[in-house]
Structure 1
Amino acid sequence: MEKMENQRRKEWLESMLRIVSPVFDALEKEELHKTMPLDFHEERSEYAPLEAFGRSMLGLAPWLEAEGLEEEEEKLQAVWRKKALRCLDAATDPESADFMNFTTGGQPLVDTAFLCHTLVRAPKQLAGSLTERVRHHLAQALRSSRTIMAGSTNWLFFSAMVEAGLYLLGEKDYDKMRIAYALRSFEGWYKGDGVYGDGEVFHWDYYNSFVIQPMYVDLLDLFGDSAEEYRILKEKVTARASRYASVLERMIAPDGSYPVIGRSICYRFGAFQMLAQAALQRRLEKGLTPAGVRCALTAVLRRCLENGDMFDGNGWLRPGVYGFQPELAEGYINVGSLYLCSAVFLPLGLPAEDPFWIGEDEDWSGRKVWSGGHIAIDHALD
């Protein structure tokens, strides 16, 4: 049994590092701008490095923060902790060949926010482990993104998350109002049964999972005790997120496929970030087991990864859902954008002995039903 437990986790870890390694290996040497393939939607190339780095860090962060890993994994983790800190230095030092664009155009606000979300997910090993020089450069980079105006959409969470990053860096000038505005606005855009509009309008897509609910939950975890308003809101938001995670679990077919619907579908299994986060934070609804969620997400990972055209000859991601399907990429997507898929790996932040990893394999909802098995009737959130 011990060997099988290790193999489950090992498969996930190897998949995550396979995806993000080209980004970190190049950035660590200050060669990301030079070596990253920028021929896909080339007009977006000035944004690609920060997109690739911030989004790769998004999924990696909980594993970097994890404590008490088994010896072999702990040694690998130590290597990646140092690598991540060196990459943060290279990305934010104005003298670096890979100093990133935090200000020009609108896109940098998005990926500055994803980078800040990694600080929220790894406050000790990232935010708390920076040298004073790197901390200063990072704080300056975050502040510089404030020149970009957020629209009345999921972008409000990007502005709020940047302020959360500054807060975690110990900066006294973080803007509480940008955080409050995002938290209050989305409460008004709740549509019911665990989903929010992206602004006032509802879209059939995965943005509740790509951005809205993961950031909403984590911002309230960070600031929820600072005001009675937030304490009340936190209870509602976390319950909605758990419900939405259950919906995501039921969207996973017996073969690991899932509905190809809405914007940014080329982020692949990043569509299941909120299910992965609910597992990480032990907030799965009653009726979902950690082991069942593990099996469901593993099926999605295997389904996508089985098509080798997902990667180019140098290991960089290519646009698509199953292999190389560039026609599925909107004009705002470049190679860097695709690394949001890393968000599915959040449960690697759980200990190796957690039920998520050691529970016996079991079928998930879709597989149970379509094999003639039995599940509970689904109910809307009150």
Structure 2
Amino acid sequence: MIFTTHKQNLIKLFIAVLFLALAVNTVSAQTKSTGLEDRKFWVKALHKIAYPVIHNLANGTLKQNMPLEKGNNYNLKLEDVTYLEAVGRTIAGVAPWLELPDDNTEEGKLRKAMRLELLQGLKNAVDPQNPDYLNFRSQSQAIVDAAYVAQAFIRAPKALWEPLDQLTKKRFIEEFKSLRNRTGAYNNWLLFAGLTEGFLLSIGEQYDPARVQFAVNKVTEWYVGDSWYKDGEKFSMDYYNSYVMHPMMVDLTKILADQKKGTPNSYNQALQRMVRYSEYLERIIGSDGTYPAYGRSVTYRTAAFQALAQVALMEQLPDAVSPAQVRGALTQVFHKMYDGNQNFDHKGWLVLGFNGHQPELADVYTSTGSLYMATLAFLPLGLSPDNKFWSTPNSPWTAVKAWSGQAFKKDYKVEY
């Protein structure tokens, strides 16, 4: 009996040591790369996702080559919406990276090539004679994805808007204004309509102030505290605060403040709420790079971290959240998602799923084009390589600290 107990204790000790070794190895694997190595990996992953969309749009072959996968209960007119979805969502994520100036590095050459292709693609997108002319003129879904196009222009005016020829600019303006004959859902869609109008305001075009103000007013009313917005009349536990609510609310109130159509206080409040929300996003990233797959639209994958990425891009991270720990956490997430080919088909297009081909996870509005929101977590690539986000030494993120016995900040609600 004594021998058996002793043997059981030895087994327990062995298991404990094994788990400790695994934990140490996990942390070591997370911290062995440098910031610039992390950046190189981010660039590779973002390029892998975005290239098929941008390259084909530039060549007028997007509609010819993009697969048309959809969920079982899909309820939209697929060919009317999926291509604009792919383009808008892709370019909203790559825009800050493309806004960086040209240089002769390997990354710089890759970035320039993508920017030039995208400029040609944007011209094709609004040319009625081009095979890849995108549909802004019918379907309510266009309200959503036109807003992501507008957000790309907001995030990269020098790279993506100013270089366009006058005819192409005029065509985009006309397409954006054509959206006014439709309405969408009474939820985050208000921000889509408002942001497109906000972009028009920002470039000195006639805009619809009612759509803008209604969006800001309702989203402000839907705030429930401690950085969380309801997405409509009832609260939903999902990632829409990151997919849409915080980033677009911040972008829209910033435009209004800059154009003297809103107050700096409104913008600062929206920003502080997003900063607080970014703390939640950093905390849900596990020490192994996993995060919860809950709520609607989990097929948008890493778009779940757009708000954290935008706060990092704006260099507004909370005091207790260092740029290096955000870099480390997101790098680990990207390794989980994009190291292999489980999320891509044999031609490099994203497939329906969360981490693999899981079409049963698709919502009634999810198709191939919808998936390209995944790029929205890569916004910090808009920071130059010498920025502290990339240049500071590795630092463990909250989950690593918590599960390895290190000190970490106690979390408590914040009033904004």
**TM-score class normalised by the smaller sequence:** over 0.9
Say if 2:47 is the partner of 1:17.
Answer: yes
Say if 2:217 is the partner of 1:187.
Answer: no
1:33 is matched with which residue: 63, 66, 71? 63
In structure 1, C-alpha distance between the alignment counterparts of 2:343 and 2:92, rounded to whole Å:
20
* 3-state SS in 2 of match to 1:213: helix
Counting only pairs closer than 5 Å after superposition, residues 307-346 of structure 1 correspond to structure 2 as 307-346=340-379
In structure 2, C-alpha distance between the alignment counterparts of 1:227 and 1:380, rounded to whole Å:
32
Task: Encode CA deviations 1:240-293: one digit per residue, 9 max, x unaligned.
Answer: 100000011001111111111100000001100000000000111110000100
1:109 touches 1:145 (CA, 8 Å); kept in 2?
yes
The alpha-carbon distance between structure 1 residues 372 and 336, as it changes in their structure 2 partners (threshold 3 A), is same
Q: Which moved more, 1:173-182 or 1:353-362?
A: 173-182
In structure 2, C-alpha distance between the alignment counterparts of 1:336 and 1:131, rounded to whole Å:
27
Match of 1:124 in 2: 158
Say if 2:230 is the partner of 1:230.
Answer: no
1:30 touches 1:97 (CA, 8 Å); kept in 2?
yes
In structure 2, C-alpha distance between the alignment counterparts of 1:133 and 1:229, rounded to whole Å:
31
In structure 2, C-alpha distance between the alignment counterparts of 1:65 and 1:90, rounded to whole Å:
20
The percentage of counterpart residues that share the same residue type is 38
* 3-state SS in 1 of match to 2:80: coil
In structure 2, C-alpha distance between the alignment counterparts of 1:71 and 1:177, rounded to whole Å:
46
1:69 touches 1:352 (CA, 8 Å); kept in 2?
no
Match of 1:74 in 2: 108
Tell me how far 1:194 sits from its aligned partner. 0.3
1:159 is matched with which residue: 187, 193, 217? 193
* 3-state SS in 2 of match to 1:316: coil
In structure 1, C-alpha distance between the alignment counterparts of 2:61 and 2:204, rounded to whole Å:
30
In structure 2, C-alpha distance between the alignment counterparts of 1:278 and 1:326, rounded to whole Å:
32
Match of 1:261 in 2: 294
The alpha-carbon distance between structure 1 residues 170 and 235, as it changes in their structure 2 partners (threshold 3 A), is closer
Task: Encode CA deviations 1:29-86: one digit per residue, 9 max, x unaligned.
Answer: 1111111101434852321110001100011000111237563332322222211111
Matched to 2:56, the amino acid is A
1:120 touches 1:164 (CA, 8 Å); kept in 2?
no
In structure 2, C-alpha distance between the alignment counterparts of 1:257 and 1:67, rounded to whole Å:
34
Of the two, which has the highest radius of gyration?
Answer: 2
Tell me how far 1:184 sits from its aligned partner. 1.4
Matched to 1:149, the amino acid is T
Match of 2:394 in 1: 361
* 3-state SS in 2 of match to 1:319: coil
Task: Encode CA deviations 1:177-226: one digit per residue, 9 max, x unaligned.
Answer: 21121111111110000010112211000000001100011112222244
In structure 1, C-alpha distance between the alignment counterparts of 2:371 and 2:362, rounded to whole Å:
10
In structure 2, C-alpha distance between the alignment counterparts of 1:339 and 1:255, rounded to whole Å:
24
In structure 2, C-alpha distance between the alignment counterparts of 1:68 and 1:98, rounded to whole Å:
28
Tell me how far 1:126 sits from its aligned partner. 1.3
1:243 touches 1:285 (CA, 8 Å); kept in 2?
yes
Task: Encode CA deviations 1:283-334: one digit per residue, 9 max, x unaligned.
Answer: 1111000010000111111111234220000000001111111111112000
Matched to 1:137, the amino acid is R
Say if 2:322 is the partner of 1:289.
Answer: yes
Match of 1:280 in 2: 313
User: Number of matched residues?
Assistant: 379
In structure 1, C-alpha distance between the alignment counterparts of 2:394 and 2:104, rounded to whole Å:
21
1:320 touches 1:326 (CA, 8 Å); kept in 2?
yes
In structure 2, C-alpha distance between the alignment counterparts of 1:259 and 1:371, rounded to whole Å:
20
Matched to 2:253, the amino acid is L
In structure 1, C-alpha distance between the alignment counterparts of 2:330 and 2:46, rounded to whole Å:
13
In structure 1, C-alpha distance between the alignment counterparts of 2:105 and 2:335, rounded to whole Å:
27
1:60 touches 1:345 (CA, 8 Å); kept in 2?
yes
Q: Which moved more, 1:41-50 or 1:74-83?
A: 41-50
In structure 2, C-alpha distance between the alignment counterparts of 1:32 and 1:87, rounded to whole Å:
10
* TM-score w.r.t. length of structure 1: 0.95
In structure 2, C-alpha distance between the alignment counterparts of 1:228 and 1:100, rounded to whole Å:
31
Q: CA RMSD in A?
A: 1.6
Q: Which moved more, 1:38-47 or 1:158-167?
A: 38-47
Match of 2:19 in 1: none
Q: Which moved more, 1:250-259 or 1:33-42?
A: 33-42
The alpha-carbon distance between structure 1 residues 164 and 57, as it changes in their structure 2 partners (threshold 3 A), is same
In structure 2, C-alpha distance between the alignment counterparts of 1:69 and 1:282, rounded to whole Å:
23
In structure 1, C-alpha distance between the alignment counterparts of 2:42 and 2:159, rounded to whole Å:
21
Matched to 1:194, the amino acid is S
Task: Encode CA deviations 1:78-133: one digit per residue, 9 max, x unaligned.
Answer: 22221111111111111111111112221111101111110110112112111011
2:353 touches 2:361 (CA, 8 Å); kept in 1?
yes
* 3-state SS in 2 of match to 1:191: strand
